[in-house]
Amino acid sequence: MAVGIFDSGLGGLTVLDACQKRLPDVPFVYFGDNAHAPYGVRDADDIYNLTTAAVERLWDAGCDLVILACNTASAAALRRMQENWIPRDKRVLGVFVPLIEALTERQWGDNSPPREVEVKHVALFATPATVRSRAFQRELAFRAIGVDVEAQACGGVVDAIEDGDMILAEALVRSHVEALTRKMPSPDAAILGCTHYPIMEKEFQDALGADVKVFSQASLVAESLADYLVRRPEMVGKGTETTFLTTGNPKKVSDRATQFLRRKVEFVSA
């Protein structure tokens, strides 16, 4: 009864950790495409091809439901996958939905016309590919009006986190926040639009200031998944064991993942 979680690298482990805490009886299969990370600098076709290959591997591992715990894949590939690729007995969900539900305070199934929401000025921090896709702005526009979104492509942050260079990551966060606030001096809220970024949530908050509400994805996705499985229990697949798969070097990825989660993690070759 496993659920698949996919990311281009280690960032999706923040989502996995939250999901395991929220759903301790559900086994998860995590797939990290570390050999091809980061996705944020790739073009849309490349991201689509890599993402579909990873999802197929998770289906083979017994996961009928796969969470794309990768904003870049969610932004650049998910809609195309849902339109003409995913079989009827499988589901692939992205990570934008829980964020937008939280931001607009309305459920995804609420198809009433867009309306004004409390938040008016939103800072979006994401990878270059996610920013180019404008997927967040498109989905938000279906549900809210009068919201100004300023996006900042945070080049280098994912690489620094994956390399374990947190000093560089913090410096880059501060630089990107400064660049955004030159364009939007007083955001009401900030979206950490990459699953790597919760690792740097404190640094984003410190750089933005205490008055800015920071939305981070991991706990929101976990709660959304729990609700989804209550409504669609048949989507829990036939897998029975929690497994960690990688296209990279298993020992190297395991060592970094253990540091990332502060608990022992052992990856095997995908």
Q: Annotated active-site positions, please? A: 70, 194
State the amino acid at position 99 in one-letter form: L
Question: Count of CB atoms within 10 A of residue 83's CB?
Answer: 8
Query: Residues annotated as binding site?
Result: 7-8, 39-40, 71-72, 195-196
Which letter does DSSP use for residue 113 in this model? Answer: P
State the amino acid at position 29 in one-letter form: V
Judged by DSSP in three states, 217 sits in helix
Say if residue 178 is exposed, middle or buried (CB neighbours under 10 Å; 0-12, 13-18, 19+): exposed
Judged by DSSP in three states, 56 sits in helix
Query: Residues annotated as binding site for substrate?
Result: 7-8, 39-40, 71-72, 195-196
- Residue 156 — φ and ψ, nearest 5°? 90, -20
Tokens of 114: 């867009």
Judged by DSSP in three states, 25 sits in coil
- Among residues 77, 63, 74, 69, which one has the least CA distance to residue 29? 63
Q: Among all chains, which residue has been given the structure tokens 């410096």?
A: 171
Tokens of 172: 């880059």
